[in-house]
Amino acid sequence: DQQVKQNSPSLSVQEGRISILNCDYTNSMFDYFLWYKKYPAEGPTFLISISSIKDKNEDGRFTVFLNKSAKHLSLHIVPSQPGDSAVYFCAAEPETSGSRLTFGEGTQLTVNP
Amino acid sequence: DVKVTQSSRYLVKRTGEKVFLECVQDMDHENMFWYRQDPGLGLRLIYFSYDVKMKEKGDIPEGYSVSREKKERFSLILESASTNQTSMYLCASSFGGRPNYGYTFGSGTRLTVV
């Protein structure tokens, strides 16, 4: 039972354009969401997060949007850069679990020069 | 600079061997986690620990055990390695409580069981 789903295994965009990565969840108890970025042969690194009391959080080129009614969140990267090429994981945490995260399958983003 | 260190980057073990994967963090984090990463399956939680000598099963604990004798160290044990345990293993740690400021991950151990 995949509670966090990233339906696009891969995404390819041109440098300078917008990258939009999507994530859906099924567990209505999730109330905190995070995005991680992973380069090959490295561990994932924290990118940005959002609490369920917000619908948008922005950090430089990265913005995360949360639509609670649709149980959907997205990560926007503007403008995309070749160094953004990595696997992006969406993660979610229910309010009762302490800090246990459930991760999606990941989306491989490729930004072409 | 905060760090989670996994003892080996690459390991090759034989079927049936007992395998130890070690993880050490220097951030005084309460929580530690073991995940495995497989293509198309993302990161799946094997075991986690919220305190010394405490452990909880994750989503896929079968075939694994863990040990946390000291706060900074969390070991994953494959009791009798099998080929379906060939995977990338990732250790992570975090502060307890809310909000969750995110995990710090180690660089991973690529385990191949032959």
DSSP A26-64: --TTEEEEEEEEE-TTS--EEEEEEETT-SEEEETTEEE
pLDDT over 90 at A41, yes or no: no
How confident is the model over B52-65, as a mean pLDDT?
Answer: 93
Mean pLDDT of B99-104: 74
What value does the mean pLDDT take over residues A80-85?
A: 97
What pLDDT does residue B100 have?
63
Q: Which residues of A touch B90 (CB under 8 A)?
A: 43-44
CA-based radius of gyration for chain A: 13
Q: What is the pLDDT of residue B95?
A: 83
Write down the residue that tokens 């600079």 correspond to: B1
Indicate whether B97 pLDDT > 90. Answer: no
Mean pLDDT of B42-71: 94
Residue percentage of chain B with pLDDT more than 90: 76
Chain A contacts in chain B segment 14-53 (CB below 8 A): 31, 33, 35, 40-45, 48, 50
Chain A residues bordering chain B (beta-carbon distance below 8 Å): 4, 6, 9, 32, 34, 36, 41-46, 49, 51, 89, 91, 93, 95, 98-106
**pLDDT at residue B89, as a whole number:** 97
Task: Report the residue from A6, A99, A104 with minimal CB separation from B100.
Answer: A99
- pLDDT, position A24: 97
**pLDDT for the residue B98:** 61
CA-CA-CA-CA dihedral for B82, B15, B4, A42, to nearest 10: -80
CB contact under 8 A, B40 and A99: no
In this prediction, residues A31-56 reach a mean pLDDT of 92
> Residue A81 above 80 pLDDT?
yes
- Determine whether the interchain pair A42/B33 forms a contact, defined as Cβ–Cβ distance below 8 Å: no
Distance, in Å, from the CA atom of A36 to the CA atom of A110, rounded to the nearest integer, reads 15
Domain A4-112 has CATH 2.60.40.10: yes
The pLDDT assigned to A87 comes to 96
* Per-residue confidence (pLDDT) for residue B40, from 0 to 100: 86
For residue A68, the model assigns a pLDDT of: 95
CB A73 within 8 A of CB A50: yes
Report domain extents, chain B. 4-113
- Residue B22: is its pLDDT beyond 70? yes
Class of the domain covering B4-113: mainly beta
Q: Most B CBs within 10 Å: which of A3, A31, A99, as the mutation test of the B interface?
A: A99
Omega before residue B39 within 30° of 0, cis: no
Contact A77, A62 (CB under 8 A): yes
* Nearest residue to A4 via CA among A95, A93, A110: A93
More confident residue, B22 or B102: B22
Nearest to B105 among A32, A44, A102 (CB): A44
- The first and second tokens of residue B47, run together, are 């075991």
User: Is B74 within 8 Å of chain A by CB?
Assistant: no
Residue B52 pLDDT greater than 70, yes or no:
yes
Torsion-angle region of A68 (φ positive above 0: left; ψ -120 to 50: alpha; else: beta): alpha
A93/chain B closest Cα distance in angstroms:
8
Does residue A96 carry a pLDDT above 90? no
Q: What is the pLDDT of residue A100?
A: 82
Distance between CA atoms of residues B57 and B65, nearest Å = 9
Specify whether the CB–CB gap between B59 and B43 falls below 8 A. no
